[in-house]
Structure 1
Amino acid sequence: MGNVGLLYVGAVLFVNGLLLLGVVDGRAAAPINLFVGALQVVTPTYLIIAAAGDARAISLAAGLYLFGFTYLWVGVNAIAGWPQAGLGWFSLFVALCAVGFAVHSFADLGDRTFGVIWLFWSFLWLLFFLVLGLGIERLTRFTGWVTLVEAFGTAAVPAFLLVTGHWSDSAGLAVTYLVVGVLLFGGLWFALARRPAASASVPHHA
């Protein structure tokens, strides 16, 4: 069930990446954020209840709330027009928690690739904090592109492979994810830095 939810995390990250890039506005992105946010709250609640005290199953479900609350907050802000600072600071909390889940994946679950993916999610939510919490607008376009990359690379594609039974964790895959991600994000950073600064301000809802 969690793997199915991860597929739709990819969908909402895709839309929110377009939001940050100014392709869609906040109200247009609100429905998918509310839908997926609700899914990522209902799903872990069910999984935790069904786990019957199994610590491993509970730990796998607990991180889903971080996504669910983020997307619900984005959706509500888009409709209500509330300031983004609270969401930005919550994103810092998510970024720190994601580091903890990465360590847990490496050390306790033996899932090396998702340990790397959790680190990439931490990086993404750190960018959300810098853009929304601290108002560093020059990072908005970079954050939008990172969001688009992670929509597929850390969510939709792994989820599809998991759902179809074609996902297989290995040290080689984890290293490949790490190297490709670092090179890709580094390349994006330098490519965007060479462009003139965009005149658009931070989207009201990201």
Structure 2
Amino acid sequence: MASVPDAARRPRRDALQNRAGIIAAAHVALAHDPRASVDAIARQAGLSRRALYGHFDDRDALIRELVAEGAQRFNAVAAGIDDPDPRVALARLAARLWREAAHVQVLAAIALDDAHLEETAAALAPLRRAVVRIVREGQDGEVLRTDVAAPTLARLVEETARTVITRVDASSPDAQGLAVRAVLSIAGLSWRETADVLDAHPDLLTGADEAASE
């Protein structure tokens, strides 16, 4: 016979497992169909609609949870960027974010659409601060464009990255390279300067930089 403490812990453990299963199922269902309903997500999770509503008030609440989860991963990427050259830092940030988003491109597009952009922006505050910092350092060192104020330029970089993530096919062979080149271009580098940065740091587009840091 289960002890009272064991019996008390079991529902909590089951609830956590169900919640995790719902989130995992939402990833799968929404990747297949960005308009997947609560019913479809519940079926994917092997639960009833009522069971899902026991964890999330509605579909928007579940989407907000996915946005928050993704934002944590993006913020962690930004926290790991420490290159002294702002051009390399910006390129590395763009490359790593692309690799992170490419695995869940549909979900990233949902998080970045107009309906969720405000809450996504709030969740990504650490990432946004990192972009502003890199831009300021680049402007101070005169290696990034200075004709636009740092906050505005950082916003332009964000919007460029957002467009690439939501519009470019992740399966395209040079999708990641396009993301990095687009970001560096809006930041003020010519295509030749961008090529020089990528040639000098071939690890940027291969993921070797991340493997070496593990």
TM-score normalised by structure 2 residue count:
0.28
Give the structure with higher Rg (CA). Answer: 2
Q: Which has the higher contact order (CA 8 A, sep 6+)?
A: 1
Structure holding more helix per residue = 1
TM-score normalised by structure 1 residue count:
0.29
